[in-house]
Structure 1
Amino acid sequence: MTHKSTILIVDDEISNIEIMNAILEDDYEICFATSGEQALEIARTIFPDLILLDILLPGIDGFEVCRQLKTDELMADVPVIFTTGLGDTEDEVRGLMLGAIDYVTKPIQPIILKARVGNHVELKRLRDQLAEIAVTDALTGLSNRRRLEQTLKTETSRLSRNEEYLSVIMVDIDFFKQFNDTYGHPAGDRCITMVASAMNRAVKRTSDLPARYGGEEFACVLPGADADMAYSVAREIQQQVRALNIPHQKSDIGPYVTVSMGIATARCLQGMTADMWTHHADSQLYISKSNGRDRITQTTFEADHA
């Protein structure tokens, strides 16, 4: 079953919403709002694929809605098409300067609306595909460091609204240089891929993000996870990797590949930065490696001690 793109129609005239809905409903999931404030609330909840936005709205107008959307990191890439009966070049220019991608004038012409919406939804789909490639590690299929950093930034901001927990796990394959030297780089790549698959099996919540941090190092972002929850995930990663039974005759701690881990947990507060979690988790990883490897070390930190 093909997933339908979601269109948010914003207009204070119900008759206009009904007209546009009738034109588009066969091809898209349709949501609607009748004010600027409601539009922003719904958009930040459903993350539509495209917004059809009237200029003249009660409360904040369409220009202000567009401005706020384009300054919101989570919403900035959502295409906005203004729908207006104003027919004023200055308004059109102002909308485009704010980040809108197109205009549709009223009364709505069904063929024109369908064509323009279809073109921009397809362009967004292609952009999303390219963006996905840019944040995916080619070897393992996990998210890459770029997405990890984006996710951490987003989650620290989101979770700080209610001062919720965030945990980060840093993972390193023990004695990986010796593994590469002994078995060769193709075997090293297979080892990295197998460990990545083990992490995917261990990280079960859809909100959690396993990523390849670089080389033989991985990381997991666990939104809403306290210290106990994070430790449970780390233990599952450890067990999944051990269950792989990848031979490693040059390891100083056993005959098979193992991993060392560091965990950092804190409540997200305003002003805390994403790199606090990676810094503390990396410090804990260093302790794990210094104390013999194949182990998990964790800390819970506060903003004052970050």
Structure 2
Amino acid sequence: MTMASRQRVLVIDDEKINLKVISDILREDVDVILAINGEQGVRKAVELQPDLILLDVLMPNMDGYETMTHLCHDVRTSAIPVIFITALNDSSHEERALLMGACDYIQKPLYTNIVQARVRLHLQLTKQRKMLEELAHIDPLTSLANRRKYEDVISSEWQSAIEHQECLSLLVIDIDNFKHYNDCYGHATGDKVLKQVASVLASQVNPGEGLVARYGGEEFTMLLPRFSQHEATKVAHQCMSEIEHLNLCYHHGGQTGQVTVSVGGATCYPQSSHLLSEFFDRADNKLVQAKNTGKNKILWDVSDKLDVPVK
């Protein structure tokens, strides 16, 4: 298993000997993060986002149940599975832990094979859950983010832009003459065009700089946080140029042409009084105008004064 693919387990226990024992049991399979109390454990869970948490019940100041409450009530940690580890053998404690949302409960003394087996099981379940979550946000044809993922991300970036007074740019992109191309060569070939266009669009955005999504049909969105209108327009021109260079021409039934794209764009500095839906509409309306006035062009919304930050 490579370091990049190793999962991470956070162990929260006030006894150093317990931390060492559990670390020795697990370290060959996972990266182990240690915390000596509940407060430190919550901080590390938020910061490091482990795949699984092993939590001792009996700890001073903040015991395991209180720590679990903090983890459950924070959206950043509420989905991380927790296994309670304790010397308490009263079934009522196990019941309480499970009712609080723990995924498992291991009693001391610890047996290496049991701990390893249960940790592996819950890590595998975590990996499967994350894979399903990722698949639910991926367009199966193009492998881009789908509309659901786009809406989640733009909502988050919108709030971040409001908080930090940063600009946000959005491109809405539509493939020109796609129906003619489909009519000429069939939907299977049309699907290949969608994949080619998607690949070009995805190549224009570095990981972590923005999001490219298939919005529906032959329409795509490109979200560019902290890109000015000038910077986003340069990206749009590059997209148009590279798609044109694909040279996807069609000749059939009197119809002759080439697959290009039209782009509608908008840039703003969001404020709490602005509506996210209106921001999309601004870019989408410009796309419609581009399609209706010759295609293969970029039109940018400059309809209001949101292109400068409000002091």
- Which TM-score applies when normalising by structure 2? 0.83
Q: Deviations over 1:35-84 (max 9, x none)?
A: 43433332233221111123345555443443444454454432111223
Q: Which amino acid aligns with 1:209?
A: L
- Structure 2 gap segments, 5+ residues each: none
Larger Rg: 2
Q: Which residue of 1 aligns with 2:91?
A: 89
Kindly tell me: are residues 114 and 169 of structure 1, through their superposed partners in 2, closer, same or farther at Cα, counting changes over 3 Å?
same
Mapping for residues 136-147 of structure 1, pairs under 5 Å: 136-147=138-149
* Distance in 1, Cα, partners of 2:61 & 2:144: 44
1:162 to 139, 161, 164: 164
**Paired residues, what number?**
302
Q: Which residue of 2 aligns with 1:25?
A: 27
Q: SS in structure 2 opposite 1:210?
A: strand
- Structure 1 gap segments, 5+ residues each: none
Q: Which amino acid aligns with 1:172?
A: D
* Distance in 1, Cα, partners of 2:278 & 2:289: 17
* Distance in 2, Cα, partners of 1:249 & 1:74: 54
1:43 to 42, 45, 51: 45
Q: Which amino acid aligns with 1:36?
A: G
1:284 to 263, 283, 286: 286
State the Cα RMSD in Å: 3.1
* Distance in 1, Cα, partners of 2:143 & 2:86: 44
Q: SS in structure 2 opposite 1:244?
A: coil
Mapping for residues 66-215 of structure 1, pairs under 5 Å: 66-158=68-160, 160-215=162-217
Q: SS in structure 1 opposite 2:287?
A: helix
8 A contact 1:202–1:240 mirrored in 2: no
Offset at residue 292 of structure 1 (A): 2.9
Q: Which amino acid aligns with 2:8?
A: T
Q: Deviations over 1:244-263 (max 9, x none)?
A: 1111459xxx9421111223
Deviates more, 1:168-177 or 1:75-84: 75-84
Q: Which residue of 2 aligns with 1:259?
A: 261
Matched, 1:6 2:27: no
8 A contact 1:201–1:240 mirrored in 2: no
Kindly tell me: are residues 230 and 55 of structure 1, through their superposed partners in 2, closer, same or farther at Cα, counting changes over 3 Å?
farther
Kindly tell me: are residues 23 and 171 of structure 1, through their superposed partners in 2, closer, same or farther at Cα, counting changes over 3 Å?
same
Deviates more, 1:240-249 or 1:292-301: 292-301
Deviates more, 1:53-62 or 1:11-20: 53-62
Q: Deviations over 1:164-218 (max 9, x none)?
A: 4433322111132232223322221111111011112212234422111111011
* Distance in 2, Cα, partners of 1:54 & 1:270: 43
Divergent runs of 4+, >6 A = none
Q: SS in structure 1 opposite 2:164?
A: coil
Q: Which amino acid aligns with 1:89?
A: S
Q: Which residue of 2 aligns with 1:220?
A: 222
**Matched residues, percent identical?**
37
* Distance in 2, Cα, partners of 1:170 & 1:243: 20
- Which TM-score applies when normalising by structure 1? 0.84
